[in-house]
Each structure stands twice: as C-alpha cells, then as structure tokens.
Structure 1
Amino acid sequence: MLTRLDLMAGAFRAGAALALSEPEIRGLGRLVRQGDVCFDIGAAYGMYTYPLAALVGPGGQVHSFEPLPNPFRLLAAGRRASGAERIRVNNAALGPAPGRELMTLPYRFGLPIHGWAHLRTGQRRPGRPISFSSTRTLKVEVRGVDEYCEDHGIDRVAFMKVDVEGFEARVLEGAARTIDSHRPSLLLEIEDRHLDKYGMTSADLADPLRERGYLMYAWHRGRWARVNSVTTARRNYLFAAQGGL
C-alpha cells in the first residue's frame, strides 16, 4: 500500500523524468540504501528530501536544512503531511562552524528569489550581475555538519546533497571529519557564477575532493557517467568514493 511519503517521492521522481525537477533525482537509488542517513543541505521545499526519505526507509534518516523562513515553513508542512518521522527538518544553514550569520535574499518585482539567497560570510564580490529590484538581509542560524553529527549521535552519513549558491566549499569545510571518516557520496551544485562571489572557481571546489580519492560523475542519459571537468552544460556533480558506484 502506497503511503503519503511514497506519493510525494513519486511526484518528484516523475517530475525529474519530465524535466520538471532536477534529473539527478532519478539516480538517487544507485547511491542510497535502506537504513542510510542522508543530509539535504539547501533543501528548499524538499525536492530531494522526500525521494531520499522513501529510499532510506523507516530505519533511515534524512536531515534537511533550509534557512529561509518561507521555504522552511513549506518544508516543515510537507514533512508533517508525509507522516515520515525519519525526516528531520532544521531551520538553519550549514557552514564551517556554528553561529549566527547574515544572509542576502534578493527580490525582483516584489517577490523573493530564494534560489539566489546566499550567506555573506567570506563573500568577496557581488557575483554575476542580475537585475534585482531590492534585497533583504536576514540573520540565520548556521550549523556545521561535524558539530551536528556529534550533537545528534550520527556515526554514519551515506549521502549529502549540497546546493547553497556558491557556499559549498565552506559547507564541506565544516564536514571535514564526516567526509574523511564516513566517505559519503556528495551531490554538489557547482556553478562559477555563484562561486565567484566567494573568490572561488569550480576547480577550487572539485580538485580537493578528487585529491581525497573521490571520483566525479554527472547524470547523463539515465546513468551516472564519469566526467573530468565542470562545464556549463549542467550544474550538479556527484562525487563518490572509489568503489562507491
């Protein structure tokens, strides 16, 4: 019998097949198993949260992090509607260390552009010029992956999705112990237009992971295909430990 979570997860998988949601959702089954612990960092409305929760089953956990108030409210409402206690939602960003930090939320035509919100910590440049009518400054809670795992007694993380508008390297900085000891698969958004705000390039993000023994993949024609470089043809890249796929 299908549960509400199954229906929600199925809707996002169907959307991925029709190019209405991110196609990489179709490849999560190769990365995540029953009983796994996963992190959805930059969860927004739960595009990855619900498919991951269906895959990990009742014995697994999905820890979702969304710092913006309105997306978090919808994420929390969706978690309640799903009835899935394995989903833990957190109204917080992730970074190198716990604290409170400023976040910029751009507006266009009076509407918030949540997909371009970003933490100011370490920001060096405005980034790619975009026509925003205004911006709002928020103060948000920031956690670190390592600190969060220690606080919640998490001793094995299998998968982390990180989509934080150029702040990915700082999230990984706060996850250094987890990455080295757990070797989770990492699905990262990598776009130079976002990384430039923090004085970084795609190579600055990808190369250190490869030096740590990770192999880089992209979702292509229904499978994870090995790639050697980041291009503008796609924005999401999977890093898996050798032997992980």
Structure 2
Amino acid sequence: MLRKARDRIYRGHLRQAVRHTGLNNYLSGPYWKLVYRLSNNIQGYTVSNQTAKFKINNYTEFIRFRDLSGEESILEDLLCSLEPDDIVYDVGANVGTYTCFIASKLGPGQIVAFEPEPQNVDRLRENIKLNNTDANVIDIALSDSDGTIDLSLSGNEAGEGEHMIATDQETETIEVKMARGDTIIDRHGLPNPTVMKIDVEGAEMLVLRGLSETFRNHVRLAYIEVHPEKLPKFGDSASEVHVFLEESGFDVTKISSRGSEFFLRASR
C-alpha cells in the first residue's frame, strides 16, 4: 500500500524534478525507513518458485532483504542450475539469504553454510529454523591455513555485509577460528561439494587455495563474488581468481557487476 501511495504521488514532473536536482538519494532513505518501521519483522520472498522467510530485526537486515542485496539474478541462476543430488557450500553465508533458498529446494544435509561472525551465525541459524529447513552451519572462516584470524567488523548489527579478514589496523576486530576447506571436510566428515557460492570480501584466493583439492576434484559449478579493490590487501588480484578457475578446468563467465565488484560463474 505504501509503495502504491508513493508511486501515485512521486511521478511525472515531481519525479523528474527530484531526480534532476539530486534529491532522490535524500528522499529514498527516509521513505524506506518509514516502510521498515511499518513492516512485520518476518518477511517472505520468492525467487525461481522457491520461497524463503527471514527475520528482520534491524534496518540493515531490512535493506539487505528488500532487494536481496542486488543479487536476485545470481540466486535465480543458482537455483535453476541445481540438481537433486547436489551438495552446496555457502561460503560467507552472512544471515542466510542463499542458504535458506537453497535449503528450501534441496533435501536435508545438502547444504553447508560457513560464517565466522557470531551475530550473523545466530541470525543464520534463526532463519534456517524459521524456514523449517536443514543446513549444517560451521562458524569458521575458510582460508589457506589453519588457526585463528582477526575479523574486522563493519558495524555492530547482524546482516552487515562487509565483515572481512583484517589486513591492517582496523578499528574493531574479533578473533575467529580459521581453517582450510580441505581440512574442514576431513575433520568434520563433510560431504564433498558439487556447487559453491563464495562471498568473502577480498579473501577469494585464500578460500580457493584452501579448497584447491576439493575444488578441482568435486565442484561442477561455482558462483564467486570478486572484489578487485579488496583482493590486493591479501596480495592477490581479480585476474588470479579467473586464472585459478580456468586452470581448474572451468568455463568462466562474468554474469553480474555492482560497482567495482562482480560475480563469476564457473561451470564444467
């Protein structure tokens, strides 16, 4: 109802004037904050005939789910590409956008979600339970070595999307467990993945190197968000991600971009 009211008022010459003067950015924020305050704290979304519900406890989560972080086309492609016996690893699961949709399509035990940030882990488990689905949540940061690592925090609310492995003197960090993916699979007796989604804010090559054996021998399809401006903080580059995938036998396609960041789809 609010959207319809806005569209009736905010159109024609008024819309042109607002956009021309640059006021659109200033008006959009207050509008969505009003919608958030009037919304239920549980919201449902449908992508590719799969429906998932998410608990909305703060404005950050509301914005994340309002447009599915701008990744609906990626999620739709992934869901349409799943096969009944796939095992999916969601690396950098955050609060469960991908995990919950995938779990709603596949059966019990077919998705493993990796997320190291404690608040996100709590919300991830909440959302999985809310959807009456099954997923194995592992609160570890995947990397190319085993031990612990400092994780920098981009905010103090669940759903913040830019938590990343600390590379310098960030203002706030927490210590989290870290492990190679190949090690975790053996240690936890996990099924080998056939599909992966990776969103790790610049640590893409750390994850890929730590999963190199598994990736080359078992994965048939991967969606990787590449962060060209953050990769150099880890001594890596976007081209290295592309080369790794091609040398592992994948056909690689760039399927979406957002600013400097983009998604690669790797298949074989």
Residue of structure 2 aligned with 1:172, choices 191, 208, 211: 208
RMSD, aligned α-carbons: 3.0
8 Å CA contact 1:187, 1:239 repeated in 2: yes
In structure 2, do the counterparts of structure 1 residues 170 and 216 end up closer, same or farther at CA, with 3 Å as the change threshold? same
Residue of structure 1 aligned with 2:139, choices 91, 94, 97: 91
8 Å CA contact 2:91, 2:113 repeated in 1: yes
Report which stretch shifted further, 158-167 or 181-190. 181-190
The yes-or-no answer on 1:237 pairing with 2:264 is yes
Residue of structure 1 aligned with 2:160, choices 110, 114, 126: 114
Q: Deviations over 1:119-152 (max 9, x none)?
A: 13xx4x78xxxxxxx7211000112211122123
The yes-or-no answer on 1:206 pairing with 2:266 is no
Mapping 1:174-193, distance limit 5 Å: 174-193=210-229
- The normalised TM-score by structure 2 is 0.69
| Structure 1 counterpart of 2:85, one-letter code | G
4+ residue runs over 4 A deviation: 5-9, 110-113, 230-234
| Counterpart secondary structure, 1:44 | coil
In structure 2, the residue matched to 1:103 is: 151
- The normalised TM-score by structure 1 is 0.75
The aligned length equals 211
In 1, Cα distance between equivalents of 2:150 and 2:195: 27
In 2, Cα distance between equivalents of 1:161 and 1:83: 22
Q: Deviations over 1:187-233 (max 9, x none)?
A: 1111211212123221021112112221112446xxxxxxxxx8957
| Structure 1 counterpart of 2:263, one-letter code | N
In structure 2, the residue matched to 1:223 is: none
Identity of aligned residues (%): 25
In 1, Cα distance between equivalents of 2:111 and 2:52: 18
More helix per residue: 1 or 2? 2
Q: Deviations over 1:32-63 (max 9, x none)?
A: 212321110110011110121123224x5111
Residue of structure 1 aligned with 2:131, choices 70, 82, 103: 82
The yes-or-no answer on 1:142 pairing with 2:207 is no
8 Å CA contact 1:106, 1:113 repeated in 2: no
In structure 2, the residue matched to 1:10 is: 51
8 Å CA contact 1:37, 1:156 repeated in 2: yes
In structure 2, the residue matched to 1:53 is: 103
The yes-or-no answer on 1:163 pairing with 2:199 is yes
In structure 2, the residue matched to 1:129 is: none
In structure 2, do the counterparts of structure 1 residues 65 and 183 end up closer, same or farther at CA, with 3 Å as the change threshold? closer
Q: Deviations over 1:1-54 (max 9, x none)?
A: xxxx99795248xx99x8444120011134321232111011001111012112
In 1, Cα distance between equivalents of 2:158 and 2:131: 26
| Counterpart secondary structure, 1:160 | strand
| Structure 1 counterpart of 2:145, one-letter code | A
Structure 1 unaligned segments of length 5 or more: list them. Answer: 127-133, 221-229
Report which stretch shifted further, 203-212 or 165-174. 203-212
In structure 1, the residue matched to 2:119 is: 70
In 2, Cα distance between equivalents of 1:193 and 1:163: 14
In 1, Cα distance between equivalents of 2:165 and 2:118: 14
8 Å CA contact 2:120, 2:158 repeated in 1: no
Report which stretch shifted further, 202-211 or 153-162. 153-162
Larger CA Rg, structure 1 vs 2: 2
In structure 2, do the counterparts of structure 1 residues 10 and 203 end up closer, same or farther at CA, with 3 Å as the change threshold? same
